[in-house]
Amino acid sequence: MRLLHVHSGNLYGGVETLMMTLAREAKNRPSLTSEFALCFEAQLAKELRSAGALVHALGEARTRNPRSLWSARRRLLQLIGERRFDAVVTHMPWAQALFGGTARASGIPSAFWMHDAAIGRHWLEWWASQTRPQLVLCNSQYTASTVKRIYADVPAQVIAYPVMLPPATVTNEEMGAIRRELQTSIDATVIVQASRMEAWKGHALHLQSLGSLRDLAGWVLWLVGGAQRPAEQQYQAELERMAVELGIAERVRFLGPRSDVPRLLKAADIYCQPNQRPEPFGIVFIEALAAGLPVVSVDFGGAREIVNENCGALVPPGDLNALAATLRYLITDPSERSRLGSAGPSRAFKLCDPATQMARIEKAISAITRDLGNSHGVEHLGC
């Protein structure tokens, strides 16, 4: 089966990480081939090509420039005709809005991969809703619960992302090298957060909670993720000022964009991401569990489906005191960190083993190529 994944490609986050997994897993599942049609030549396109994937350039389609849309749609229609794909998968409302109609007009099955909860009021969601796909793929039950805000009668399936799961162990020599690189003592308790520089990811609450623990010796915070847009650059500057005002600037490392997040996770002790709004899924939670870290997050959204009392802790939304208390407990109790961390790899494998999840993706898409008929509702396949 040959799939064409259509996406903007201008940013880099969880969706793009999924696409890299699809590309890298191709060698392990020859029955499922993925090609990628992107509008923007950026980091994703370069990394996909480096992984051996076939990337097709549609051109920089912009909603304010109708001519660019028409040109990109013509390229997509021509590509579908030439490559004889079995199905087209659009990712995110932007791609579905701009290219969903083109995919359906080509006469082959189409699916919409919904990576975030639908609001139901955004203009891109309205535009996307004008073209009905044959299937909606959802990354979590939380995301699936919002599908009807866009599509009232389209079948939906929940498939947790396949996530590359590196070994959880790291030698003392490797840990020492990573920590020296980041000006961090080998004896420090390292808390890490790896996420986009967006306010809803909860960096500010994270800093505030640690500000209340500034008298507790021995901890260091690594914030991984670079600002990709002007608003994110401003937000990061605000966080840096906040760290100074809280008196913890010397214990906070702003590491910027990194391509070695799994390596950094292995050298840390706790993963913490106190989102302000629900995470649709949370690939990094899975990566942290696979690295043997206890995960601290907020009790809603995708985190609720991934983190349980055996491998981490969930705190009430916006509860600074509960977050600070949880972090204090884990910082001061290495045995509890070890207990929770030891359960992480098996939890990650159970939810997101690439072989299992790739098989579920293939099964879901194969079903629409055979015509889903009149089936409706949500079928939960994993997570």
Close Cβ partners of 204 (under 8 Å, ≥ 6 residues apart): 238, 239, 242
C-alpha to C-alpha distances, 111 to 89, 231, 244, 249, nearest whole angstrom = 5, 32, 47, 46
Q: Which amino acid makes up residue 248? A: I
pLDDT for 227: 85
Instruction: Measure CA of the first residue to CA of the last residue in the chain; give whole Å.
Output: 24
Residues in the chain: 383
- The string of pLDDT tens digits covering residues 279-304 is 999 999 999 999 999 999 999 999 99
- DSSP tag of 362: H
pLDDT for 378: 45
Determine the average pLDDT of the residues in 371-375. 46
Kindly tell me if the per-residue pLDDT of 383 is higher than 70. no
> Cα(71)–Cα(91) distance, rounded to whole angstroms?
19
- The string of pLDDT tens digits covering residues 151-173 is 999 999 999 999 998 776 788 89
Give the gyration radius of the chain's Cα atoms.
Answer: 21
Single out the residue of 4, 11, 18, 21 nearest to residue 42, CA to CA: 11
- The string of pLDDT tens digits covering residues 210-235 is 999 999 999 999 999 988 889 999 99
Strand, coil or helix: 63: coil
pLDDT-derived band at 377, boundaries 50, 70, 90: very low
Helix axes 92-105, 66-83, angle to 10 degrees: 60
Single out the residue of 164, 274, 277 nearest to residue 221, CA to CA: 274
* Cβ–Cβ < 8 Å for 191, 213: no
pLDDT for 229: 86
Single out the residue of 107, 55, 65, 57 nearest to residue 86, CA to CA: 107
C-alpha to C-alpha distances, 276 to 204, 238, 261, nearest whole angstrom = 9, 17, 22
pLDDT for 60: 96
Single out the residue of 208, 235, 206 nearest to residue 223, CA to CA: 206
* Cβ–Cβ < 8 Å for 12, 232: no
- Apex 81 CA angle, 78 and 84, nearest 5: 140
The secondary structure of 148-177 as a DSSP string is GGT-SS--EEEEPPP-----S---HHHHHH
* Cβ–Cβ < 8 Å for 293, 326: no
* Cβ–Cβ < 8 Å for 117, 144: no
Kindly tell me if the per-residue pLDDT of 243 is higher than 70. yes
pLDDT-derived band at 374, boundaries 50, 70, 90: very low
Residue 232 CA to its chain's centroid (Å): 17
> Cα(184)–Cα(269) distance, rounded to whole angstroms?
12
- Domains of the chain in sequence order: 2-162+353-381 (3.40.50.2000), 172-351 (3.40.50.2000)
C-alpha torsion sign, points 284, 289, 294, 295: positive
